[in-house]
Amino acid sequence: MALRRPALLLLLPLFGYRLLAVELTSSNTKPVVQEFQSVELSCIIKSTVTPDPRIEWKKIRDGETSYVFFDNKMQGDFATRAEILSRTSLVIKNTTRMDTATYRCEVAAPSDTKTIDEINIQLTVQVKPVTPRCTVPKAVPVGKTASLHCHENEGYPKSTYSWYRNSEPLSPDTKSNAKLQNSSYSLNPTTGTLVFHAVHKGDTGRYSCIATNDAGFAKCEEQEMEVYDLNIGGIIGGVLVVLAVLVLITLGICCAYRRGYFANSKDSGESYKTPAKPDCVNYIRTDDEGDFRHKSSFVI
């Protein structure tokens, strides 16, 4: 009696026969490339009996899946900058930071016992840092806190930061450098923040910062920070001068009040009154005189 197909497939390995199944492999499942360069995503058919298997490439980024190669054609923006190499591998030209993603190579082989296989390729596109933004205070008094900041957000992987004073590196560990043992600061290479907890005259200088990642580095321009002494005597003297001026002004106002310079005119004497006309006198004007003369009248 003839054996059924499932039973026959189970017996084939016992007689030295290998199950015919499509199987994929890759020479590099985690390629890394710098932005604007070309990269090959390796997908190799290790075994198959199907003469013309169907090939598909998919891109998975931020949880979304899109076609790269489907129905023997490149899809989307890959149509002008990607191609299939050696039947199954994918070559991407002029890579961008947006190409960083997981790419899935899928092969369908209908003539094989196992008809489908897939392999994931994790592509990383490195991006050089841009010139970081640096903020350095221009002048700080001795003993005060000073914060210096350095940051850029274009590089991938994320940049780390190092600070320089007068072109000499500032170590995160001040004890490792004899020139820095008198300095009291903390440096965070991840955030790019340099904090002087109590500046002294030796911290005066030109400061610059370098952002670095696996793709390269970028540097901001040097900026001057001056540390100056506080003139306590001058400050106290200035305050005393201001107080003395205020006292003199107050005394001057008080003396002016006492001497009556600010008194009301009603209090200084009698107000001027228009003289009243005498009784029985009328003032008249004639054309001949051109002036006033008086005329008496009597009342009986």
Please report how many Cα atoms fall inside a 13 Å half-sphere around the Cα of residue 203, on the Cβ side: 31
247 has a pLDDT exceeding 50: yes
At which residue do the structure tokens 């980024």 appear? 61
Confidence at 89, pLDDT banded by 50, 70, 90: very high
Contact 138, 226 (CB under 8 A): yes
Structure confidence at residue 119 as a pLDDT band (50, 70, 90): very high
pLDDT of residue 299: 47
* Predicted confidence (pLDDT) at residue 182 exceeds the cutoff of 90: no
pLDDT at residue 294 greater than cutoff 80: no
Q: How many CB atoms sit inside 10 A of residue 204's CB?
A: 16
Give the CA dihedral 239, 245, 248, 254, nearest 10 degrees. Answer: -100
Q: Alpha carbon of 246 to those of 97, 142, 196, 232: distances in Å?
A: 67, 31, 40, 21
Residue 54's pLDDT band (boundaries 50, 70, 90)? very high
Residue 72 has pLDDT above 50, yes or no: yes
Tens of pLDDT, residues 141-179: 999 999 999 999 999 999 999 999 999 999 876 666 555
- Give the closest residue to 32 by CA, choosing from 127, 141, 112: 127
User: What distance in Å separates the CA atoms of residue 62 and residue 180, rounded to the nearest whole number?
Assistant: 45
Would you say 41 and 103 are in contact if contact means Cβ atoms under 8 Å apart? Answer: yes
C-alpha distances (whole Å) from 84 to each of 54, 68, 125, 261 are 13, 10, 19, 103
Does position 279 have pLDDT exceeding 50, yes or no?
A: yes
pLDDT at site 13: 47
- 172 secondary structure, DSSP code: S
